[in-house]
Structure 1
Amino acid sequence: MDAEEDLILARIKKRDKEAFRYLYEYYFAKMVLFAESYLYDEEEARDLVQDLFFHLWNHAGTLQVATSVKAYLFTSVRNRCLNAIRDRKIRDEHNNKLFEAQLFSGTEDMVIDEDVHRRLQEALDALPDKCREIILLKVVEGKKNKEIAEQLNIAETTVKTQVQRAYRMLRERLVPIFLLVEYLQQGF
């Protein structure tokens, strides 16, 4: 670290607001752009960087920087982005499983009026052709991604991507329908 970084870091450890403000103003926008290159979401990137600065201020007294302040900050942002991506993936997989169970299990026991049935069909019809074909093979026929890939002569990763895309698109269109069905089933 150079002498100026040492001084800024020492001042921040003593909870000097001006030193912290300087660091924040100098790096914030750059770090948001960096985080956005991982997350593809400006708001999430801003929140992540804001949280990092909040953490930095709350732990200023115990802050240990072995490299440069810049390297420390950008490495911290990168690690937080990777954690956010991991968490997003876990959440998406969980939501997909719940959505699949909700959409395709027990529907034969539900009384679905014509409007709800029409809206379900419209949601499926709105999917791109290949996406619809893959989701129907997966859910209706119960095939595994590998089997679908072999049958359609495409990569297994393509199947996985198309399934995730279909779940996301269906979820966006069908969540209001599920809420309505649940409301109607409760007899209100």
Structure 2
Amino acid sequence: MEIDIVLKELQNQNKSVYKNVFNHFYKGLVIYANNFLFDQEASEDIVQEVFISLWENAKNIEIKTSLKAYLYAMVRNKCLNYLKSLKVTDDLNVIDLNSILVLDEDLDLISEEEKTILYNHILKIIETFPESMQQVFKLKFIENYKYEEIADEMGISVNTVKTQLKRAKVKISQSLVIILALLSIHS
């Protein structure tokens, strides 16, 4: 469907079109939100809030790119606001990197080939971590464990978990600066 037609139908409160948009984007948006929050329920709540906002404010919405980009941007912004409300900071810009790696609409920032190169470099960086740091990192970011669950699983303190993750992020961000610089040279 053309964005203008879909937007017009949403503005006219067409429930059928709204339901189709919801069904088409919901699952992907929840996965995207979960990449920020690592909390399935909070991710679902945020995506539902985005769709409620879309329904309530459809008459005032101006979409300049695509509906998909608009919805993903709304989810990203709500996730960042949610994290701010929890006093979570992203000094290393891991969230922005994650956004680039996950969202298809950011292809103008980084190509598919560069995403693959970057992802493979991140995996290589993780492989250089000490065994315990690798395990903490994988439990947190691949298995979506909470700090307490990682601590229980590994028999370490929650502070040790946080320290290991902070060190892992520092190592990744230091290496990524070099990798991103090399990618921009080759562009």
The bucket for the TM-score relative to the shorter chain is 0.3 to 0.5
State the TM-score, normalizing by the size of structure 2: 0.47
State the TM-score, normalizing by the size of structure 1: 0.47
The structure with the larger Rg is: 1
